[in-house]
Amino acid sequence: MNNNKSIIETMRKRQSVRTFDTKNIDDSHFQFINEYLFNQSNLIGPFGGKSKIELVQVSGNVTDKGIKLGTYGLIKNPRGYLVGLAENSKYSLLDFAYCFHNLLLHLTELGMGTCWMGGTFSRNSFEKEIEIGEGEFIPGISPIGYPSQKQRVMDKALRYAVKADNKKSWEKLFYDASFEVSLAKENAGEWEIPIEMVRLGPSASNKQPWRLVLSADRTVCHFYIEHTPNYSSKLGYDMQLLDMGIAMCQFDLACRELKMEGQWLADDPKIGQTNEQIEYIVSWKKFSH
């Protein structure tokens, strides 16, 4: 990460980009992506799983192999795609989304545009372009390039349709010691900014399925998912787990910038959930000094 830039500010300003400039990606930026993906430590998630991310270059919307990549007209003038590979299991998807989002934030810092896509692309066309191992599938992709100054009407319509600029309030997402009491921002103390970064993170259809519970002693933050029933059942995997990996990434990076030290633990506190759609995912525990 560029030491001169604040990742917190990058997270605040990042938006999905669907319309790109026709300018080719700078060689230095391609080199950055390739070196980033070559460094294996960048691809290991919080649960220890190793993700795969492939860079596919395109001209127009056609790859070097002459394959037209299908994104249903949602993406205009991409200069390339990042294509993720993972196993269809809970922790593999969480690790993948964490690592993939981390890379997208790096590219945002470089002035590049990205857009998380989980369901609105033709998996078949992307599968022809990369090597897929046994048990792997493509959970998500992102077009890359430089944002066009001419944002299309469709981009604005999509943002409006999914209420991309309407994030749920703290009261609906975050809780104080139990699901009985909402967490007030003024009571979050040093946790306020990492938790706010979770709130601002992108999610599929802007459903924002994350629910956080801050422990009474303020040493642990528990992450839960509130599933949207049947949300991605047709796709054959739980797309909302990607949203939780994104939330973990946003939270973790904010903690690092703020010099808050801690670690991820899968240790269910057995707090009584308010409905059957809520499932425990992970906790972030602060180191005691």
Report pLDDT digits (tens) over 196-205.
Answer: 999 999 999 8
154 pLDDT more than 90: no
- pLDDT score, position 261: 97
Cβ proximity of 126 and 83 under 8 Å? yes
- pLDDT score, position 164: 55
Nearest to 142 by CA among 110, 107, 166: 107
- pLDDT score, position 165: 64
- pLDDT score, position 43: 98
- pLDDT score, position 64: 74
CA angle centred on 41, ends 284 and 224, rounded to 5°: 25
| Residue ranges of domains in the chain | 7-156, 170-286
Q: Do domains 7-156 and 170-286 have the same CATH topology?
A: yes
Return d(Cα 60, Cα 27) in angstroms, integer. 18
- Confidence band of 237 (pLDDT split at 50, 70, 90): very high
3 pLDDT more than 70: no
- pLDDT score, position 153: 63
Higher pLDDT pick, 128 / 289: 128
30-67: pLDDT as tens digits: 999 999 999 999 999 999 999 999 999 887 667 777 77
Nearest to 208 by CA among 222, 224, 192: 224
- pLDDT score, position 201: 97
97 pLDDT more than 90: yes
Radius of gyration of the chain (CA): 19
- CATH homologous superfamily of 7-156 equals NADH Oxidase (3.40.109.10)
| Domain covering 170-286, topology | NADH Oxidase (3.40.109)
**Rounded mean pLDDT, 246-261:** 98
* CB within 8 Å of 264: residues ≥ 6 apart: 46, 47, 248, 252, 282, 283, 284
The percentage of residues in the chain with a pLDDT greater than 90, rounded to a whole number, is 79
